[in-house]
Amino acid sequence: MPPQLLVVGLGNLPHPNTHHSIGHVIVDVLAARFGIHRSINRSVGGFKGHSDILSFSDDIVSLTLFKPKLLMNIAGPSVMSALHNTVKLPASMVIIHDLLDQKVKVLLVKLKGSANGHNGVQSVINALRANADFYCFRIGIGWDHAVDPANYVLPDMPLDGLLHWNSVSLDRVCHELARITLRNRTI
C-alpha cells in the first residue's frame, strides 16, 4: 500500500483568495496540479478529494486533499473527522495556514508544537486532544503592523500573490510533502 498523506487547507469559504484563506488557495492549486476532483463530503464537513498520484519523490502516494466547510476558527472537528476517515495518523497530516508575522510568501514547516496564536490550528489541536503530532505549513502573509489584522487578512490577495503559489512556491510545497512522505516511511 502506498504511503498516505492528508493535506488540509485552512481558510474561510466566504472569503476565498484572501491572505486568511491561503490554505484553501494552496489546496486548490494542488488539486489542479494533480488532477484531484474534490466534492462536498457531508460526513467530514468539507470538500474532499483523493487520488493515488505519482509525484513528490517519484513514488506513488495516496494523497487526500481537504478544505473544511466550517469557518477556520471552528474547523477542528471537521479536520478530526477527515483524519479518522483517511490516514488515521496525525503524523501523516499537513495543515496549511496563514502566518501573520512572517514575510510574505515564506513557507515554514513545523511538526508538533503550539498553535502559535492561530485560532484555526488551536481548533485542530483541541479536537485531536493530546495527539497533536501533525505537520503545519505556515505560510507568511507579511502583515503590515500599521494595519488592523482583520483589515489585512480579509481583502483579496494581490494577483501576484495568487500566481506565486501556482509556480515556484508550489514546487517548494511539493518538495516538503515529499520529505514528509519519506520520513513517514521510515517510522
Active site residues: 20
Task: Measure the CA–CA gap between 4 and 2, rounded to whole angstroms.
Answer: 6
Helices and strands: H and E segment counts in the chain: 6, 7
Compute the Cα dihedral for 102, 105, 108, 109 and give only its sign.
positive
The grid coordinates of residue 26 equal 494552496
Residue 51 Cα distances to 33, 48, 55, 63, angstroms: 12, 11, 11, 6
Hey, CA dihedral for 153, 158, 163, 169, is it positive or negative? negative
Q: Is residue 151 within a helix (H) or strand (E), and if so which, with residue range?
A: helix 149-153
Are the beta carbons of 134 and 48 closer than 8 angstroms?
Answer: no
